[in-house]
Amino acid sequence: MKLICVTLLIITGIAQSDEYEVIGPSAPVMTVSGEDVILPCSIKPNISAVNMRVQWIRLDLKGSIVHRYEDHKDINTNQLQSYRGRTQVFKEELEKGNTSLKLSRVQISDEGLYKCFVQSESWSDDVTVNVTVEAVGRLPVITVDGFDASGGLHLQCESKGWNPEPDLVWLNSEGVTLTSESTDTHRDDTDGFSVKHMITVYNTDTKYHCRVRMNHHMMEAEIITSSKMFLSWRSSVILISVAVVLSVILIIVFVCKKRELQREDQRLQNECDPIQRTVEKVTSLLRKHAVNVTLDADSAHPRLIVSHEGKQVRCKDKQHEREKNEDTGQNKFDECLCVVGNEGFSSGCFYYEVQVKGADRWCVGVTRESAQRKGRFFLNPQNGYWTVCLRYGHYWAGENLSFLYLSVKPERIGVFVDYEKRRVSFYYVKSMCHIHSFTDQSFTEKLYPVFSLGYGSYTSSGSLIICDRS
C-alpha cells in the first residue's frame, strides 16, 4: 500500500512539473544606448522562484555569465567584467515567478542573445531573449583629401558611433545620389559602426551633401567647392599653400552659411503674418488665441510628477523611481514619459506657451484624442502627434523624422494650431521667429496639448512649465 502511494506521488510530481515552463518575449527587446532595459522572463503558471537557481548567460559569448541568483542571494564571482554593477533581478518579484533581469546603462556591446535559465530540485527550463541596441552616431565630418592626376577633387565623409549600421550617401545640389568610389565600414563592440565614403568631383561652385540615415534618424553635412580649389592643383608652387587656401574657403563657407541661416530666420520671422511684420504685432496676434492649459494628472506616466495647480511636470527623482507603482489606467502613458492637457479643441485657433529651459530631453505640441498611449512609439504625425523635440542633443520635428537647425537654443516655445487650416506651428517666444510648421494635416477629432520628458527608463533633468497668457 505504501509503495502504491509513493508511486502515485512521484507520478503526480512529474505531471505537475511538466506543466511549468519559462517564457520570454516573442520579439526582440529593442533599447537605446545609455538607457536602462528590462529583459522579460517568468515562470508559467506563476510559482515562487525564491528557492530556485536563476541564471542569465550570453549565448553568443560562449555561455558567459551575465547574472546568477542562487541560495537567496546574487552570486556573481564569475560574471563578465563588462556587466559588473549593471545587472539585478527583482527579488521582491521572485515570489510571483518573475525572473526578469534589469540591465542598466545599456552599451552597444550588450546587443546579442541571452538565455534565462531557471532550475529547481526537480525541474528546469530556459528561454532565449534577443536584445538589439540602437545608438545614434555623431554628425558627419567632410574633409578634402587632395587632387588626382586629372584635376578631380577628393571629398571624404565620415561618421562614427552608430548601431545598427547606417546608410551614408553623397548627394549633389539637385539631390541626386552620387556613386562612392571607396567605402569603408568598421564596427567596434564599444563604439558601434563608423562609415567612411569618398567621391571625386570636378564641378566648381557646387554644393555637395553627405547624408547619414538609420531608421528614423538622419544627419547631414555639406560643402561648397570653389574654383580656387581646382586652380590650385595645376601649379606645384601653389600646392604648398593648398592647406591654407582650403581652410580659408571652409571658413568663408561657414560664415556664408551662418549669414544665410540668419537671413532665413529673418525671412521666416517676417512671414509670421503677411500683414503684421513686427515682433509686437505677431505676439499680439498669436496671444489673441491664447488658451488656459492645465495638465491632466490622470494621463501622466507613473514616473512623472504633475504640480498641484497643473502647470508644471517633472520626472521623479531616483529615490521615488524605485517605488512600486501599480497605477496603469487606460488613459495613462506606460512607456513614453508623457502627459496631456485637460482641455481639448476641435475648431478655430488656439495657442499656448511652455518653458523648456533646463530640460535636456523634451517634446511639446498637440495630439489627437484617440492617439496611442500604451507602449513605445514615436511622437510624429503618423501616430497622431505633432511635436518639436530635443533628442540626443539635437532638435527634431516629429521626434527624429526631420532634423532642425536652430541658431539659438530655445528657452520658451509657442505652439499655435489653426484647426480649419489644418496647420500646427511652433515659434521662438522671445523673438516670435518661426521654427517649424506641419501643414495640410488631417484633423477629425479633438486635439490636446501634449508634453514629454523622454521614454522608457530614461529620466530627463529639469521640468516643463506652462506659461501664463501674458
Res 1: pLDDT: 45
Q: How many residues does the chain have?
A: 470
Q: Where are the extended beta strands (E) located within 149-241? A: 153-162, 167-171, 177-178, 182-188, 192-201, 206-214, 217-225
Res 398: pLDDT: 86
Taken in order 374, 380, 382, 384, the sign of the CA dihedral is positive
The residue assigned the cell 574657403 is 249
Question: Any idea where the domains of the chain sit in the sequence?
Answer: 20-134, 141-270, 279-466
- Candidates 223, 210, 240, 451; CA nearest to 352 is 451
Taken in order 252, 258, 260, 263, the sign of the CA dihedral is negative
DSSP-derived secondary structure letter, 54: E
Please state the CATH superfamily assignment of the domain spanning residues 20-134 in this structure: Immunoglobulins (2.60.40.10)
Strands 29-32 and 124-134 come out as parallel
| Whole-angstrom distance, CA of residue 414 vs CA of residue 357 | 13
Q: Let me know: does 162 contact 212? Beta carbons within 8 Å.
A: yes
| Whole-angstrom distance, CA of residue 315 vs CA of residue 336 | 12
DSSP-derived secondary structure letter, 108: G
- Candidates 444, 301, 435, 306; CA nearest to 365 is 435
Element (H, E) at 14: helix 2-18
**20-134 and 141-270 have identical folds:** yes
DSSP-derived secondary structure letter, 239: H
- In three-state form (DSSP H/G/I as H, E/B as E, the rest C), the secondary structure along 327-376 is CCCCCCCCCEEEEEECCCECCCEEEEEEECCCCCCEEEEEEECCCCCCCC
Q: Let me know: does 311 contact 465? Beta carbons within 8 Å.
A: yes
Query: Any alpha helices (H) in 146-278, and if so which ranges?
Result: 227-232, 236-239, 242-270
The residue assigned the cell 507613473 is 302
- Candidates 137, 125, 130, 126; CA nearest to 163 is 137
Q: Let me know: does 423 contact 439? Beta carbons within 8 Å.
A: yes
Res 281: pLDDT: 75
Q: Let me know: does 112 contact 58? Beta carbons within 8 Å.
A: yes
pLDDT, one tens digit for every residue, the chain (470 residues): 444 444 444 444 444 444 789 999 999 999 999 999 999 999 999 899 999 999 999 998 888 999 999 999 999 889 999 999 999 999 999 999 999 999 999 999 999 999 999 999 989 999 999 999 999 999 999 998 877 777 788 899 999 999 999 999 999 988 889 988 888 998 887 888 999 999 998 887 788 999 999 888 888 998 888 766 655 544 543 454 456 567 767 777 666 666 765 665 565 555 544 434 556 777 788 889 999 999 999 999 999 999 999 999 999 876 555 555 556 678 899 989 999 999 999 999 999 999 999 898 999 999 999 999 998 888 999 999 999 999 878 888 987 678 888 878 899 999 999 999 999 999 988 888 889 999 999 999 999 999 999 876 666 788 999 998 65
| Whole-angstrom distance, CA of residue 398 vs CA of residue 377 | 12
Choosing among 3.90.650.10, 3.40.50.1100, 2.60.40.10, 1.10.10.10, the CATH entry for 141-270 is: 2.60.40.10
Domain with residues 279-466, CATH architecture: Sandwich (2.60)
Res 240: pLDDT: 44
Res 469: pLDDT: 63
Contacts 24+ apart (CB under 8 A), 80-85: 82/107, 82/109
